[in-house]
């Protein structure tokens, strides 16, 4: 994004770096309103100060609801820290260079069943490096998208793009409101949904994954959520030797995606 001096605030990455704000943050009433109105597919989350003027809060939240963007109320001091002390006018937003797809919009763009396709669904990954590594592996394995929840997980920030070696700018990133609901939509679109968990019914390598597959990987430490695991068609585990209790989420996801790729020949 380019700086918009006439509207106030700051979209410029170089100046953001100079003020010690992250490159994927824009702030100020007009810049955030412009981002939401003109480029909502590049906005992942909006932060609104608790004490912001009521008319500003009303307009920003209205835009967020219309565009399906998550917003959160925070202390003004949190925005001060986030923007490096800039005049944020009580509003800031996480922005990204990538387009963020809606779930139904993306599924409608895919070839219909039974055409082969692979989708990775992240159940609230928290770490930017893990999400970036997952997206990088997804591109290498031939996945057509990576799905992430709108709330409670890592946002697709500049750190994610860097960790993905740029793959996040090429692989479609799909936002979903609820992981269990997303699984249902995938199943309706002809996908067999396999969750990864140590409590799985059978090993990942026991039989080939179906040509039209979605793989669900859980959060670091917590693994798959209960509702997500219950919604899956199948739960598989990755057999391991030694005393390590579990694999890193991005490693487990990569193994599963390349197992799907192997079965495709």
Model confidence over 204-255: pLDDT tens digits?
999 999 999 999 999 887 888 899 999 999 999 999 888 777 788 999 999 9
Asked if residue 114 has a cis previous peptide bond (ω within 30° of 0), the answer is yes
Express each pLDDT in 64-79 by its tens digit. 999 889 899 999 999 9
The pLDDT assigned to 23 comes to 57
The pLDDT assigned to 144 comes to 96
Distance CA 240, CA 136 (A): 23
Residue 13 scores a pLDDT above 50 = no
Express each pLDDT in 23-57 by its tens digit. 588 899 998 998 899 888 888 889 999 999 999 99
The pLDDT assigned to 10 comes to 40
Q: What is the DSSP letter of 51?
A: T
The tokens for 112 are: 């219909």
Mean pLDDT of the residues in the chain: 86
Residue 1 scores a pLDDT above 50 = no
Which are the contacts of 217, defined by CB distance < 8 A and separation ≥ 6? 120, 121, 122, 123, 125, 134, 196, 224, 249, 252, 253, 256
Residue 88 scores a pLDDT above 50 = yes
Give backbone dihedrals phi and psi of 200, rounded to 5 degrees, phi first.
Answer: -60, 155
Which are the contacts of 1, defined by CB distance < 8 A and separation ≥ 6? 11, 12, 13, 26, 35, 39, 42, 95
Distance CA 149, CA 122 (A): 7
The CA–CA distances, whole Å, from 235 to 135, 212, 217, 221, 259 equal 21, 16, 10, 17, 15
Instruction: Tell which residue, 135, 18, 29, has the closest CA to residue 79.
Output: 29
pTM (predicted TM-score): 0.75
The pLDDT assigned to 98 comes to 78
Q: What is the DSSP letter of 50?
A: T
Distance CA 249, CA 132 (A): 11
Residue 61: count other Cβ atoms within 10 Å of its Cβ: 15
Q: Which residues pair with 176 in a beta bridge?
A: 149
């Amino acid at each position: 994004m380019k700086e918009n001096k006439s509207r106030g605030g700051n979209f410029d990455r170089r100046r953001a770096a100079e003020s010690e704000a992250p490159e994927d943050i824009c702030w100020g009433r007009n810049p955030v309103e412009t981002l939401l109105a003109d480029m909502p597919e590049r906005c992942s989350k909006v932060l609104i100060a608790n004490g912001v003027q009521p008319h500003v809060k009303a307009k920003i939240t209205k835009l967020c609801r219309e565009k399906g963007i998550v917003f959160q109320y925070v202390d003004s001091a949190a925005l001060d820290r986030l923007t490096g002390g800039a005049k944020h006018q009580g509003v800031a937003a996480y922005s990204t260079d990538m387009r963020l797809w809606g779930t139904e919009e993306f599924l409608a763009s895919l070839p219909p069943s039974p055409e082969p396709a692979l989708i990775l669904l992240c159940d609230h990954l928290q770490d930017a490096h893990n999400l970036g590594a997952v997206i990088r592996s997804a591109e290498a394995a031939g996945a057509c998208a990576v799905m992430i929840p709108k709330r409670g997980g890592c946002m697709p920030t500049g750190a994610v793009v860097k960790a993905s070696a740029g793959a996040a700018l090429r692989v479609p990133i799909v936002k979903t409101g609820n992981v269990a609901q997303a699984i249902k939509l995938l199943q309706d679109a002809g996908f067999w949904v396999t969750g990864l968990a140590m409590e799985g019914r059978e090993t990942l390598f026991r039989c080939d994954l179906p040509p039209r597959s979605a793989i669900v990987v859980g959060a670091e430490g917590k693994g798959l959520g209960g509702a997500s695991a219950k919604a899956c068609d199948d739960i598989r585990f990755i057999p391991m030797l030694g005393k390590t209790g579990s694999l890193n989420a991005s490693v487990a996801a990569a193994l599963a995606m390349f197992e799907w790729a192997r079965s495709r020949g």
